[in-house]
Amino acid sequence: MKPATRTLAFVGVVLPCSLLAFAAARPPQQPVAPTAGPPPGTLQIVISTELNGNITPCGCSKPMLGGLPRRASFLKSLGPVGSQIAVDNGDLTESMGRQDELKAETIVEAFNTMRYAAINLGEKDFRLGMPYLQSLRARFKGGLLCANARKADGSPHFQETTSVDREVAGRKVKVTVVGVLSEQFKAQITAINPEVQIEDPTTTLERLKPELVSASEVRILLYHGSRSEAEALADRLGCFQLVVCGHEGDHPLELKRNGATAIACSGQDGKYIGRASLDPASRWEVTEARFPPLVPEFTDDPGILAVKASYLERVAAEDLLGKVPKLPTTNGDRFAGNASCLPCHAAAAEVWRKSGHAHAIATLAKVQEDRDPECVRCHVVGLDHVSGFASRMKTPQLENVGCESCHGPAAKHAANPSLKPPKAGAASCSPCHVPQHSPKFDFPMFWEKIKH
């Protein structure tokens, strides 16, 4: 296993972060289904793509969308499992180090709990390396697919297809799912995995088409690539009722039809979930598709919250926080901590004490995230730098978002006030207040809350 390799710079500040809490830390919620239920007597295909490691949402703005615990609740709202199939179109994580390996295992476990039938590998998944992907294949109870990832002898590295039987309105139906990825990712995949040859997906699918058509009534293509490429494949092959594509941003696209084939994209990062209804009375064509946002009104599924809790225990047990690479500070100074700043800056100290910044680490501790480096990074001072935060035990003076989160390391200024630290501004906030986690962040508006 390779160590974590992320080295994201941190000089920013954050406002109070509202992460998903675990069941024990949240007030009880009543089950809610904020979207209309599926038409009766139809087969439900639940689609997702490019989760990118977002097991639960994180951010400073409310409401934050997404999360696997809400997704599990959504699946349960659709009714009997026997008339639904869940499939995912890959890029489970960013695949950048040990933490993403743990995330990938956690996501696979969550998908097993949600009874996912198939995962189609994306280009980011291949960053994990072939031995690790084969270990995920052994963990996953469904089909781990990538039909056009071939060995030197032409045989596939992974499953080409997976089939499941369902009963809809008293009628049995066999559903076959096939997965391929775009050739645009060929170079980056083979650079990491020289034993993998990426075949032209059209060649792969044309070879599989006769068996697909003869073996099943319903055929679904998971295409890890753009919608335009997916449309071209749909036109050429003409045998799929549903084609799922990706790499089209974090919002779902309106369903598009190419003859009898529907092309769907649910958006990345797990903020939305897709549901396509296939009607047996119309030769299993997609008669309806919805892409509801996974809003907080969905109950967090306790089973998936338990899976997330186990993941955090593993992150803590492996001390990933202590293994964060440390960069030199930009000005060669060291971090001093707020206690060195506040005595001389009484007015600023009072503003800070009343802000969410002063309690940033506590918001993580409430949800057991205070040893997760991905979360801690934006809740402490200088995690990614030499002399910055190491742990709550070793460097308590650097807990929370402090003066040096904005102004940079200032031990020299604390020793000699004539050496002024840099002034802070919008650039100090941008590393943490990114659109994904803080979509409503507006520097002039938020500055008024902490102006000093």
188-217 burial: b if 16+ Cβ within 10 Å, else e: ebeeebeebbbbebbebbeebbeebeeebb
State the pLDDT confidence band at 440, using cuts at 50, 70 and 90. confident
d(CA 391, CA 399): 8
Task: Out of 29-43, 311-325, 328-342, 405-419, pick the least confident.
Answer: 29-43
CB of 390 within 8 A of CB of 322?
yes
Domain span at residue 116 reads 28-299
Residues 264 and 187 placed together within one structural domain of the fold = yes
Q: Over 50: is that where the pLDDT of 118 sits?
A: yes
* CA angle (118 as vertex; 221, 195 as ends), nearest 5: 85
pLDDT, tens digit, for every residue of 164-181?
A: 999 998 899 999 999 999
Mean pLDDT, to the nearest integer, of 83-88? 96
Residues 292 and 378 placed together within one structural domain of the fold = no
pLDDT of residue 18: 32
Q: Over 50: is that where the pLDDT of 57 sits?
A: yes
d(CA 395, CA 322): 12
Looking at per-residue confidence, does 191 or 3 come out higher? 191
Residue 245: other Cβ atoms inside 10 A = 28
State the pLDDT confidence band at 159, using cuts at 50, 70 and 90. very high
Crossing angle (nearest 10°) for helices 68-77 and 302-317: 160
Q: Which residues contact 76 (CB under 8 A, 6 or more apart)?
A: 301
- Which ranges in 8-167 belong to alpha helices (H)? 68-77, 98-113, 130-139
Q: What is the domain-level CATH number for residue 413?
A: 1.10.1130.10
d(CA 290, CA 74): 12
Residues 226 and 334 placed together within one structural domain of the fold = no
Q: Calculate what percentage of the chain has a pLDDT beyond 70.
A: 92
Nearest to 109 by CA among 373, 267, 303, 375: 303
Residues 276 and 333 placed together within one structural domain of the fold = no
pLDDT of residue 19: 34
Q: Which residues contact 350 (CB under 8 A, 6 or more apart)?
A: none
pLDDT, tens digit, for every residue of 269-297?
A: 999 999 999 999 999 999 999 999 999 99
pLDDT of residue 34: 60
Write the DSSP string, 185-252: GHHHHHHH-TT-EE--HHHHHHHHHHHHHHH-SEEEEEEES-HHHHHHHHHHH---SEEE---S-SSP
pTM for the structure as a whole: 0.90
Task: Out of 183-192, 201-210, 411-420, 427-436, pick the least confident.
Answer: 427-436
Residues 114 and 239 placed together within one structural domain of the fold = yes
Task: Out of 243-257, 259-273, 404-418, pick the least confident.
Answer: 404-418
pLDDT of residue 226: 97
User: 3-state class of 395 per DSSP?
Assistant: coil
State the pLDDT confidence band at 31, using cuts at 50, 70 and 90. very low
pLDDT of residue 36: 66
pLDDT, tens digit, for every residue of 355-407?
A: 889 899 999 999 999 999 999 999 999 999 999 999 999 999 999 999 989 89
Q: Is residue 308 part of a domain?
A: no
Total domains in the fold of the chain: 2
Nearest to 315 by CA among 371, 247, 358, 354: 371
Write the DSSP string, 266-311: --STTSB-EEEEEEGGGTTEEEEEE--B--TTSPPPHHHHHHHHHH
φ and ψ of 39, to 5 deg:
-60, 140
CB of 138 within 8 A of CB of 194?
no
d(CA 11, CA 405): 5
Residues 276 and 348 placed together within one structural domain of the fold = no
On average, the pLDDT of the chain sits at: 89
End position of a domain, from candidates 243, 266, 299? 299
pLDDT of residue 58: 84
Residues 279 and 423 placed together within one structural domain of the fold = no
d(CA 49, CA 89): 4
Residues 294 and 418 placed together within one structural domain of the fold = no
Residue type for position 229: E
Sign of CA pseudo-dihedral 206, 210, 215, 219: positive
Residues 242 and 161 placed together within one structural domain of the fold = yes
State the pLDDT confidence band at 198, using cuts at 50, 70 and 90. very high
pLDDT, tens digit, for every residue of 129-139?
A: 999 999 999 99
Q: Which residues contact 11 (CB under 8 A, 6 or more apart)?
A: 405, 406, 408, 427, 428, 431
Checking 345-348 for CB contacts under 8 A at 24+ apart, the result is 345/403, 345/452, 347/452, 348/403, 348/452
Number of alpha carbons in the 13 Å side-chain half-sphere of residue 85: 28
d(CA 393, CA 389): 10
φ and ψ of 286, to 5 deg:
-75, 115
* CA angle (447 as vertex; 443, 450 as ends), nearest 5: 150
pLDDT of residue 150: 98
Mean pLDDT, to the nearest integer, of 37-61? 91
Looking at per-residue confidence, does 85 or 434 come out higher? 85
Residues 262 and 383 placed together within one structural domain of the fold = no
Residues 275 and 351 placed together within one structural domain of the fold = no
Number of alpha carbons in the 13 Å side-chain half-sphere of residue 280: 15
Residues 263 and 352 placed together within one structural domain of the fold = no
Q: Is residue 81 part of a domain?
A: yes
